[in-house]
Amino acid sequence: MSLQGKATNAGWIESLLVMATPAIVDPRIRRTRLLLQHALEALLKENDFDQISVQDIADAATVNRVTFYAHYPDKFALLECVVARRLQELLTERNIKFDGTCNSALTAVVLGVCDYLARTQANLGPHLEMAVIAVVRRQLLEGMRQSPSEAPVPPEMIATTLSWAICGAAREWLRTPDRGSSEEILPGIMKLVSPILAVAHAPLA
């Protein structure tokens, strides 16, 4: 790969490390959204996601339904924001910093997903799993769109395939009896998903 190609990859892959919602200037908006996110997290410790209503979330956050809908279109969008914030916190805990290579950012994403699924295993259901996939896919796609390429495969297809591959591999690791740590399984997952990422900047045949 040329130096220009490496720089291009580095530019869009760096955005993968920004897993949380964008910074919010108004502290009142940020405070309300965090209240709603924390309320949903607390409810998920005792209830399945399907059993939780918007009214339950609003009540737990001590706001009304109108306020909820002023910030989120539905509880699924709120769940995705919870996942995005937690993934970013896990990356911060690991003190992971972007070093200018594609693999460093992809490694961060894989470790973040493994850690998140491991910590939420007791509450891991289809909605939470789909929210993780959606968050990873969105970040991948946003990064690819920042640096368009002439790859023979549409970025939407690459992002979807890669997000499912990462989350599927992490989910299978979670199911493994006497599994090792996320660091131990990381090389294997990277061998699976790195070729998918490489397609994003593969030259036209």
Write the pLDDT tens digit of every residue in 128-171.
888 889 888 887 887 777 777 777 888 899 889 999 999 999 99
Cα 55 to Cα 129: distance, rounded to the nearest angstrom: 23
Domain borders along the chain are: 3-201
Cα 85 to Cα 205: distance, rounded to the nearest angstrom: 39
What does each C-alpha distance from 6 to 1, 11, 25, 63, 147 come to in angstroms?
7, 9, 33, 48, 12
| pLDDT mean across residues, the chain | 81
Kindly give, in sequence order, each residue whose CB lies less than 8 Å from that of residue 114, ignoring residues fewer than 6 positions away.
170, 173, 174, 182, 185, 186, 189
Residue-wise pLDDT tens digits, 88-123: 787 777 766 544 456 777 888 898 899 889 888 766
Cα 75 to Cα 81: distance, rounded to the nearest angstrom: 10
% of the chain at pLDDT higher than 70: 79
Query: What is the CATH architecture assignment of 3-201?
Result: Orthogonal Bundle (1.10)
Predicted confidence at residue 190, as pLDDT, reads 94
- Amino acid 118 reads A
